[in-house]
Amino acid sequence: MPEAARNRKPARSKAKPAPRDAAANAAYAVKWLQQRGTEANREGLARYGIVAKNVIGVSVGTMRILVKELGHDHALSKALWKTGYYEARMLSAMVGEPQRVTPAEMERYAKTFDNWAICDTMTFVLWDRSPHAWPKVREWSTRDEEFVKRASFAMLASLTVHDKSAPDERYLEGLRLIEREATDNRNFVKKAVNWALRSIGKRTPMLNKEAIAVARRLSDSDDAASRWVGKDALRELTSPAVQRRLSRKRAR
């Protein structure tokens, strides 16, 4: 054997260590979050009306750093949800895989929603990309639970951004749901109904026209909640900024 070969140090193995299972990764994530939680962040959440059990106090920006490390893993998403921590549940949406979401899972999680941030993050980041988004919009639009019903209209608003291929007919159906449910005076429901109406009305010129018609009818309603939803949406949908943007779409 040549001298150089005899003196050469053995090459280090490039094999990566075995990955931890979902429960272990969830425990690691919770510990990571706890090391970065602050009282200032907890107070900030309360100021924004985010009231939840087991709040650690970590900003969304900091959570995104951890998401880059964890990657997308639906088993981990479920394990994070089970921990019950507010921030871990936010992470659950961020690392989840839309195609692996099930209707039963959506139902189970939605029933436990206790604040608007969890509701909106789950709908906007994960669920609106799943195959079950549109059926749940319809199903949940009549639910009694405030945050389940909010999830219906938050998801409808989210779909206007992320479902690029949805035909206008689906959003016309959404407008019918909005007009029907605009009488719900609960704060988190009526704000989501209003959000959905404004979002649909900014999607295409045709939907803008239809959404404005709905907003005008709601504005003229004898019902206080309906009037608020309609008048607030009407201001934005008829604004010069929105109309200019839609005019550019017409010109394409």
Handedness of CA 38, 42, 43, 44 (dihedral sign): positive
pLDDT at position 229 over 50: yes
Say if 3 falls within a structural domain: no
Q: For residues 52 and 86, is the Cβ–Cβ distance under 8 A?
A: yes
pLDDT band at 197 (very low <50, low <70, confident <90, very high): very high
pLDDT at position 154 over 50: yes
pLDDT at position 183 over 70: yes
**What is the model's pLDDT at position 5?**
44
Same structural domain, 172 and 50: no
- Average pLDDT on 198-206 reads 97
pLDDT band at 6 (very low <50, low <70, confident <90, very high): very low
Q: At what angle do helices 22-34 and 86-95 cross, to 10 degrees?
A: 130
- Average pLDDT on 3-20 reads 45
Contacts of 210 (CB under 8 A, 6+ apart): 172, 175, 200, 201
Same structural domain, 135 and 206: yes
Q: At what angle do helices 146-162 and 133-140 cross, to 10 degrees?
A: 140
- Average pLDDT on 223-237 reads 98
User: How far is Cα 89 from Cα 86, in angstroms, rounded to an integer?
Assistant: 5
Same structural domain, 191 and 67: no
Same structural domain, 90 and 123: no
User: How far is Cα 36 from Cα 41, in angstroms, rounded to an integer?
Assistant: 10
Host domain of residue 49: 20-96
Say if 42 falls within a structural domain: yes
Q: Side chain identity at 54, as an amino acid letter?
A: N
Total tally of structural domains belonging to the chain = 2
Other Cβ atoms less than 10 A from the Cβ of 40: the count is 9
pLDDT at position 182 over 70: yes
Say if 156 falls within a structural domain: yes
pTM of the model: 0.89
pLDDT at position 86 over 70: yes
pLDDT band at 51 (very low <50, low <70, confident <90, very high): confident
Residue for token digits 């994070």?
80
Contacts of 38 (CB under 8 A, 6+ apart): 57, 58
Q: What is the CATH number of the domain that holds 172?
A: 1.25.40
Same structural domain, 142 and 193: yes
Looking at residue 8, what DSSP letter applies?
Answer: S
Same structural domain, 83 and 169: no
Say if 101 falls within a structural domain: no
**What is the model's pLDDT at position 13?**
36
Same structural domain, 238 and 145: yes
Say if 89 falls within a structural domain: yes
**What is the model's pLDDT at position 53?**
87
**What is the model's pLDDT at position 14?**
45
Structure tokens that stand for 216 in this block: 């005008």
- Average pLDDT on 211-219 reads 98
User: How far is Cα 86 from Cα 33, in angstroms, rounded to an integer?
Assistant: 11
